[in-house]
Amino acid sequence: MANIVVVGTQWGDEGKGKIVDLLAANADVVVRFQGGNNAGHTMVVDGEQFISHLIPSGILQKKVCVIGNGVVVDPEVLIEEIDYLESKGIAVGPDILMISDRAHVIMPYHKLVDHGREKMKGDKKIGTTGRGIGPSYEDKATRRGVRFVDLIDPESFNERLQAIVPEKNFYLEKFLGTETVDLESILEKYIQFANRLKPYVTNVSMALEKAGKAGKQILFEGAQGTHLDIDHGTYPFVTSSNTASGNACCGSGVGPKDINGVIGIVKAYTTRVGAGPFPSELFDDIGDRIQKTGAEFGATTGRRRRCGWLDTVILNNAVRLNGLTGLAITKLDVLGELDELRICIAYEHNGRHINDVPANLNHLAACKPVYETMPGWREDIRSIRRYEDLPEVARQYLARIEALTGVPIQIVSVGPGRDETIVLDNPFTR
């Protein structure tokens, strides 16, 4: 039996959805432990693309899927996602999907606050998705949130809104200068959501304990990436939750002793959506080529992703913060067009080389990447299914990543499809 955490090692968009979908074949339960519908996981099965925002990627493998207490949930989006998957012939009943009774609910005023703040910031905006994620986590921290246990209890839900809405409307109108919300309209709409979702709501911590005692294998699915972590990322250009592996425990209600391994998903190059420093970013034709070949657009927002060379300073930061036991390399095929590859192995700052990520963003923005250069392979590798059949220079590139991080590569993705994968070591089938 193994319980494995999957996390992104960069700034998100590393291809976690595909890897979780792949690993879920040998897991029994898949748990989402943080974030909200500001994340999007794209999976391609038999040529058909599926995008999930809240429901764990394991749903395509017909596994039990869990939305943990660390997630903030927009009930309308969740219902739309359930309906979308069921329209594709994928069953999403209460027997296969569980929602923590302690998960917090995204409310209409959260989205209005999100948009209003970004508009006020102008050119200094953070680059949020506008889904209300941050304001929902903010209310959670200040004890003004609404949990699912409140949502499904009409009396409790009404009491919570009576205390919260007047303050929110004052802030929306007087400070942000935006529209306000109507309490009765929210009650009417959200009670309908509650009636639809109530059968899914349960004590997730106890359900996971029961699964563990029954010998079930559990896969914990993170959203975003390590460097969007609220504590350890490039603050304030981060998300509003802890994306590092330690939050798999807090965000789902299991203890650390129940975690057996952590796989870090690493895109073969580096991308970033939105604002914030990005030392290895490319502003030339190569960056444009990677962006186009890799179809680098956000699954949630459609925003163009900034592209750059693989940065092992960032990667090694993720190795330490997450306690990585294995790596999964994604989008290796995208680099097949290039004659030459580069890997950032250090930063130059004020005339000296450093190997850490400065907390001061002005210092990070001033860092210049120190590169190693390697030959490219200019070969289509999407049909390759054995590691030894990869071009020698591609294997050298992967070996260099292992050497620089000290972490073994367990999975190599050579295309978007589920079958376009080389599995070296599946932790669920050892």
**Interhelix angle 312-322/392-405, nearest 10 degrees:** 50
Active site residue 13: yes
Tell me 228's DSSP state.
Answer: G
Is there a contact between 299 and 81 (Cβ–Cβ < 8 Å)? no
SS3 annotation, 44-106: EECCEEEEECCCCHHHHHCCEEEECCCEEECHHHHHHHHHHHHHCCCCCCCCCEEEECCCEEC
SS3 13: coil
β-pairing, 97-100 with 201-202?
Answer: parallel
Catalytic residue (choose from 13, 28, 229, 333): 13
Name 142's Cβ contacts closer than 8 Å, sequence gap at least 6. Answer: none
Name 338's Cβ contacts closer than 8 Å, sequence gap at least 6. Answer: 286, 289, 376, 378
Distance between CA atoms of residues 56 and 99, nearest Å: 11
Angle at 278 between CA 274 and CA 282, to 5 degrees: 100
Prior bond of 236 cis (ω within 30°): yes
Catalytic residue (choose from 21, 28, 41, 110): 41
Active site residue 41: yes
Active site amino acids: 13, 41
